[in-house]
Amino acid sequence: MTGITGKVVAVTGASSGIGRAASLLLASRGAKVVLGARRADELERVVSDIRHAGGDAISIQADVSRRQDMVALCAKATDHFGKLDVLISNAGIGPISKVEDLRVEDWDAMIDINIRGVLYGVAAAMPIFLRQGKGHFINTVSTAGITILPTMAIYAASKNFVRTLNEGLRVESDGRYRVTGISPGFVGTNFGDSMTDTDLKAQIAKRMGDMGLDPDAIARAMIFAIDQPDDVDVGDIVVRPTRQG
């Protein structure tokens, strides 16, 4: 199945930022979108925007760190639309700090959302994809895992876990499903909201304001990967501002 029209796509972290942009763009291209995020009120606003523009979308409140929520998200797609073609695991947090600061609670949060959240998505969607004989995992990674900077060690490690998982999934797929990793650079989102170090939070906010891409840039990369024929697997896409070093 080539193209976007008629495909059923579930998106985590869909209430804002990249997830919201991807949901809106997918719906405008004819996809049926299932939105998941923790903020139910914001989800409903996105669904309303999509429907107002003539698109087809439903939502479910979902915390990716809870396995049952990911099962419910994927089940909602199949129950309502009869199938699930793509799972975009986009939810993520980045309370960055130097390792020596020992912000262990922040590490735990990143493990829960950035690692377990993706794994729970795989566990929820995989039986559906295998039953259908096709499917597509799109997992948001980060350029932070390509160039490791001070304060980024734990965050980058959580993202590089996903990068490694993507390749493992790909080599195991034997053509039964596709796997794409999207690595954004600086994007103008609320990424900094999860940061507990106020100085770093201010620095990141400034850099995002100076050079951050519109989230639509990342959404277009996701669209490109989904739009390919089923026998074409776009493995890795890096999208960063031209000014980012």
Active-site annotation holds for 155: yes
Rounded distance between C-alpha atoms, residue 180 and residue 163, angstroms: 9
Number of Cβ atoms within 10 Å of the Cβ of 220: 15
- pLDDT for residue 212: 86
Active-site option among 81, 120, 155, 191:
155
Fill in the DSSP letter of residue 30: T
Cα atoms in the 13 Å half-sphere on the side-chain side of 206: 6
Contact 22, 219 (CB under 8 A): yes
Nearest-angstrom CA–CA distance, 63 and 73: 10
Distance CA 177, CA 136 (A): 5
Strands of 56-61's sheet in order across: 56-61, 32-37, 8-12, 86-89, 136-140, 178-184, 236-239
12, exposed or middle or buried, with CB in 10 Å at 0-12, 13-18, 19+?
buried
Contact partners, residue 180, CB within 8 Å, separation at least 6: 136, 137, 138, 139, 166, 222, 225, 233, 234, 235, 236, 237
On whether the pTM is more than 0.75, the answer is yes
Q: Which two tokens stand for residue 133?
A: 């004989």
Confidence of residue 198 (pLDDT cuts 50, 70, 90): confident
pLDDT in tens, 52-94: 999 999 999 999 999 999 999 999 999 999 999 999 999 999 9
pLDDT in tens, 165-189: 999 999 999 999 999 999 999 998 7
In the chain, where the domains are located: 8-239
How do residues 9-43 score in pLDDT, each as one tens digit?
999 999 999 999 999 999 999 999 999 999 999 99
Which distant-in-sequence residues (6+ apart) come within 8 Å of 237 by Cβ?
A: 180, 181, 182, 183, 221, 224, 225
Q: Which CATH code fits 8-239?
A: 3.40.50.720
* Token reading at 106: 């922040």
